[in-house]
Chains A and B, each alone.
Chain A
Amino acid sequence: DADVTQTPRNRITKTGKRIMLECSQTKGHDRMYWYRQDPGLGLRLIYYSFDVKDINKGEISDGYSVSRQAQAKFSLSLESAIPNQTALYFCATSPGHNYGYTFGSGTRLTVV
């Protein structure tokens, strides 16, 4: 099994719909992250969490929300999806500050 598992792998949804992307990890790490990847823009941080009770906004949090249900689970929600949220979304974990991240395989989201 992968260290970081993201579901679904691909999703097409309609404008205005609510959608949740899920992430689970088996690394036992406290820190989890959600990134968005767009062509030509690299990866940009949406939200990050240091533990279940600690959620922090990243560079582009508007239009997104997150939930840290357990140490191993961190989900990303789009309350009302819009077409410019079409992107590749990655979840990642790390054991602490200034350690490398382990990324999931990504969720390709298309909003039509």
Chain B
Amino acid sequence: GESVGLHLPTLSVQEGDNSIINCAYSNSASDYFIWYKQESGKGPQFIIDIRSNMDKRQGQRVTVLLNKTVKHLSLQIAATQPGDSAVYFCAENLGGGADGLTFGKGTHLIIQP
């Protein structure tokens, strides 16, 4: 069946650099996408979301880009800090009244000092 997936299971970046985490989705009916951050021993924490009628959305130090043509979603984190170390999940919600986010498998972001 259709699913949300991530390109890289682990991403290592230098502190202060920008991080880009990618996600591919295959369900063209999805109309809502979210990025979550999960630290060890904690539940997923909402970072930023984007609806399918948008291409880009910015938050504090984070930007989400949506390319519906190639079904690709990315999370950009500016000036990465040690506290950004976590597993990052993308998730999609199907349109048409269906509910229940479908999550990708996650990318582990490691910050090098």
A97 touching B105 in the complex, CB below 8 Å, given contacts A42-B89, A43-B89, A106-B43: no
Binds B, one of A14-22, A44-52, A67-75, A77-85: A44-52
Residues of A within 8 A of B (CB): 4, 31, 33, 35, 40-45, 48, 50, 56, 58-59, 90, 92, 97-106
The tally of residues in B whose CB lies under 8 Å from a CB in A reads 24
A98 touching B43 in the complex, CB below 8 Å, given contacts A42-B103, A43-B103: no
Q: How many A-B residue pairs have CB under 8 A?
A: 58
Are B43 and A105 touching (Cβ within 8 A)?
yes
Are A100 and B34 touching (Cβ within 8 A)?
yes
Are A50 and B99 touching (Cβ within 8 A)?
yes
Binds A, one of B45-53, B65-73, B76-84: B45-53
14 additional A-B residue pairs with CB within 8 Å, beyond A42-B104, A43-B103: A4-B43, A31-B99, A43-B89, A44-B103, A45-B102, A56-B99, A58-B100, A90-B43, A99-B49, A100-B49, A101-B44, A105-B41, A105-B42, A105-B43
